[in-house]
A and B are shown apart, each in its own frame.
Chain A
């Protein structure tokens, strides 16, 4: 049942943690049997990056790019050219040079579950993005993670460390894909710390092959008055799990999280969101949409924790879902824990089907039934897609979802 670590000697990281089961609320709908077949270990070096064909599998966002293949940065596929105020390096290099940010990341990582522990143990490489105080970085920075299930272990492990200095701003795109048709996947953790008055848009695209599994954690800590926008697109894999934890530690900060999960076949697409308001007068928004076809299923487990003293909190959460087949399902759950005064918290969830009246309306305008259906589906998805500021990402997702809306 438990995943096997290739290097069993390092399994002490798992001591006392144990793998999650269906009894853990955050893992209730996960395919535990399949997760049990994932194998973790040190990433094999020497995988040739140039043999990986990225092509149309990732958006071409321009700007610098760091490509991680099976847990190891590929110099051939990466371009580290950075404008002033932006510092890009590999996690391996940063760790060698003992950069304080990286030590801080690894020491401070929250071990919420066994996969977090495995990530800390085995993520020896990945991307480190540091932005100086006050630097406004225009070009989007792209971090691509490619899983190539190998013979030693089938699951790659990497980490992304993002540090924004006070008053700086940037846009970062993370695309997670995989190669091949064999079983396996990736376990990638991202750590983001925003200094006071910083602004970051972080876009995460999960599009692994249908045989693979993706496990992601994004941990965000925000300082005063800073703005964090996350946009997630959970599209690929047999199980795609995107977990976000946002800690609002400085007053007047804004966390705006939105995402789309679009499943077909027997995919399970899981979003686990927690926003912790620990400072006064912060605003958070969670807006997630699910589109589920065939026998796919979606999970939205969204938490808002308002700590004692976090007065003036303004938090909203919504999860709207469209079931496109009578075999599809979604499990949506709000978790609100409010321990402060003068708090405005709202949450709402909807589950529906395509609106027959809207279909008829479109058809009465000459649009055939299939096109009308697609138009409604795309319209539902576009309300999340349109939130993305990077044109190339919008275009890519639009095409990935099977339409060429202009």
Chain B
């Protein structure tokens, strides 16, 4: 479904992604782990369409060239990015924002727009998923939200948008254990045979709750190792030291049950 080939991204002279390859099939959940500064968030933003990068390589979603599309066209094509730092938008009502977003992609797809009443039903269902109360919808988008509320709001948006591919950028950062459980519960409920996910995280902890089909290690702008969920456990025990500042061909042997490339 998602095909990434030799993806490069730079800001000015600073090369961040240095030839990233990744294939994500329908219904698969891929975790991308890596140390700070390895390019994880940049990868997420290149998928969502943020301005300001010099980008090379190939990224296609269901065969369509993603790199050519505006952020809104990517959303209409089915990409959803959960932000590490969701943006506060004072004055814009959360419910209004959600409905505008959903109707924007529906319009772009040639579907009929959804009315206020029908939308409320959609929103209510999504809210249950992330254990939110009604007043959440009446507040301004992320304005004055706690860290946990902001992340829940991201998952709420994902539940409303029903994307083909969700890219969750450090959705676990800054969460206490209860919030983590709620968010992981929401994400798991949204897993399905037609929906793929890329879960970007610094810590293995999230993957106790969201069990990935594949784990990739991103170091210095490249995926240097891929495996199943046991790779994450290995990283938890040993850190990223094995992969950092070493010639990868000389990387020590590790027991990686069921690892696939």
Contacts and interface: CB of A to CB of B under 8 A. Distances in A.
Given A363-B49, A366-B104, A379-B90, A406 B96 contact: yes
A368 B104 contact: yes
A357 B87 contact: yes
A406 B115 CA distance: 12
Contacts of A356: 51
Contact of A379 (B75, B81, B140): B140
A367 B72 contact: yes
B100 A367 contact: yes
Interface string B71-99: 11011100111010011011111001100
Contacts of A358: 87, 89
B123 to A, nearest CB: 14
A363 B70 CA distance: 8
A364 B89 contact: no
Nearest to A363: B71
Interface in A346-379: 355-358, 360-369, 371-372, 375-376, 378-379
B232 interface: no
Given A371-B100, A375-B100, A406-B116, A364 B71 contact: yes
A110 interface: no
B97 A375 contact: yes
Given A366-B76, A366-B105, A361 B89 contact: yes
B248 interface: no
Contacts of A372: 72
A386 to B, nearest CB: 8
Interface string A366-396: 1111011001101111110010000000000
Nearest to B47: A364
A383 B144 CA distance: 14
B101 to A, nearest CB: 4
Interface residues of A, number: 27
A405 interface: yes
Contacts of A405: 93, 96
Interface string A103-115: 0000000000000
Contacts of A371: 100, 104
A345 B236 CA distance: 52
A403 to B, nearest CB: 10
A383 B90 contact: yes
Greatest chain A CB density within 10 A among B91, B100, B116 is at B91
Interface in B126-143: 140
A376 B93 CA distance: 11
Nearest to A289: B91
B252 to A, nearest CB: 40
A366 B92 contact: no
Majority secondary structure of chain A interface residues (helix, strand, loop or mixed): helix
Contacts of B140: 379
Interface in B45-61: 48-51
A388 to B, nearest CB: 14
Interface string B142-169: 0000000000000001000100000000
Greatest chain A CB density within 10 A among B74, B90, B101 is at B101
Nearest to B116: A406
A379 B104 contact: no
A361 B92 contact: no
A378 B116 contact: no
A383 B70 CA distance: 30
Greatest chain B CB density within 10 A among A360, A366, A368, A382 is at A366
Contacts of A375: 89, 92, 97, 100
A233 B122 CA distance: 36
A382 B72 contact: no
Given A357-B87, A379-B90, A379-B140, A364 B96 contact: no
Contact of B71 (A360, A382, A406): A360
Nearest to B157: A365
Nearest to B167: A364
Given A361-B83, A366-B101, A369-B72, A380 B91 contact: yes
B120 interface: no
Nearest to A384: B91
A365 B161 contact: yes
B75 A364 contact: yes
A245 to B, nearest CB: 29
B86 to A, nearest CB: 7
B189 interface: no
B100 A382 contact: no
B108 interface: yes
Nearest to A380: B91
Greatest chain B CB density within 10 A among A355, A361, A367 is at A361
A378 B91 contact: yes
B184 to A, nearest CB: 22
Nearest to B75: A366
A364 B91 contact: no
Contact of A366 (B72, B96, B116): B72
Contact of B86 (A361, A367, A383, A406): A361
A234 B137 CA distance: 31
Nearest to B83: A361
Given A364-B81, A383-B91, 7 more contacts: A357-B87, A361-B86, A364-B75, A364-B83, A365-B157, A378-B92, A379-B90
Interface of A: 355-358, 360-369, 371-372, 375-376, 378-383, 386, 405-406
> Top 6 closest A-B pairs, CB basis?
A379-B91, A366-B75, A366-B105, A379-B92, A365-B101, A363-B71
